């Protein structure tokens, strides 16, 4: 996980808007979408591979 991806995630949480997040961080909106998609995949992968709680 890249530090920039975490920064994008946190900024999106503040802005609640992909376009404003991209403008604020001086990246493309596609880059914001890509970073969020990668984080969603990582989270889902970890959740689905977690052992079941009895």
pLDDT number for residue 46: 60
Report CA torsion sign: 30, 35, 41, 43. negative
pLDDT in tens, 1-53: 799 999 999 999 999 999 999 999 999 999 999 999 999 888 886 655 556 65
pLDDT number for residue 40: 87
pLDDT number for residue 43: 85
DSSP 16: -
């Amino acid at each position: 996980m890249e530090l920039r991806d975490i920064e994008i995630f946190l900024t999106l949480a503040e802005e609640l808007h992909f376009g404003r997040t991209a403008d604020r961080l001086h990246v493309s909106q596609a880059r914001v979408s890509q970073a969020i998609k990668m984080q969603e995949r990582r989270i889902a992968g970890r959740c689905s591979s977690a052992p079941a709680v009895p």
